Amino acid sequence: MGFLLALLERLLFFVEYISGGGSFPKPLLPQEERHYTELMQKGDESARNILIEHNLRLVAHIAKKYGNESNFDDLVSIGTIGLIKGINTFNPEKNARLTAYIARCIENEILMSMRSNKRRASEISLDETIGCDGEGNNMTLSDTLAVEGADVEEEVSFKLDTIKLRAAIESELTPSEQQIIRWRYGLDNGRRKTQQEVSEHLGISRSYVSRIEKKAINKLKKSFD
């Protein structure tokens, strides 16, 4: 249940950021990153949360790389899932620096979502060069689709948490809240709607959609707390 709670907390933080016009926490210094990573490895949950929150700016940076103003908020929410997966599966004995590892996890999550979106699938070439790896070799989109060191147990846990989340949506949210959460996070068909798309469909303002979304996520978080 830890992954699900962390995800809901980060989504709540993100919705507050979007609606309030705030800024993400600044990145940690290298020595701070090592310090909190060591604490996290010892089971310190607060250190884990600090690592997640202070890397949200990295999520936003990568989201800008693959998206635009119309889908930026959606890509950040998708990338946040990749961030949490990366934090959960990071092993300092096997992986490089934390930032490099989670950056690939974030990109992986965003690219998999883009592939599943039929509307954009034709625009993506898996052979497209997107940069270089640590050894200077060219990297393509297909290279990013498998994250080294991915924990199978973590993936299974994520799927189980998704089932629990669907059940909580049915029992804890009002019909309007359910609909907005399903549209925003693509729970019905994998197609995520932006806040602007939801507002236009329902005939309400984007800020009102943001408030409903924030309230719904907060309800879900409290139910799992």
DSSP for the chain reads -HHHHHHHHHHHHHHHHHHHT--PPPPPPHHHHHHHHHHHHTT-HHHHHHHHHTTHHHHHHHHHHH--TTTHHHHHHHHHHHHHHHHHH--TTTSS-HHHHHHHHHHHHHHHHHHH-HHHHTT--TT-EEEE-TTS-EEEGGGGGS-TT--HHHHHHHHHHHHHHHHHHHHHS-HHHHHHHHHHHTTTTS-PPPHHHHHHHHTS-HHHHHHHHHHHHHHHHHHH-
pLDDT per residue, tens digit, the chain (225 aa), is 456 666 666 666 666 665 555 567 888 998 999 899 999 988 888 898 889 889 988 998 898 888 776 777 778 888 888 898 888 888 888 766 888 899 999 998 888 877 766 554 444 444 555 454 444 555 554 444 444 444 444 444 555 566 777 788 888 889 999 888 888 877 776 677 888 888 888 898 888 888 888 888 888 878 776
For residue 177, CA distances in Å to 180, 184, 203, 215, 217 come to 5, 10, 15, 8, 9
Question: What's the pLDDT at 126?
Answer: 46
Question: What's the pLDDT at 121?
Answer: 44
Question: What's the pLDDT at 4?
Answer: 63
Question: What's the pLDDT at 146?
Answer: 43
Domains of the chain with bracketed CATH: 2-149 (1.10.1740.10), 154-224 (1.10.10.10)
Question: What's the pLDDT at 169?
Answer: 85
pTM (predicted TM-score): 0.56
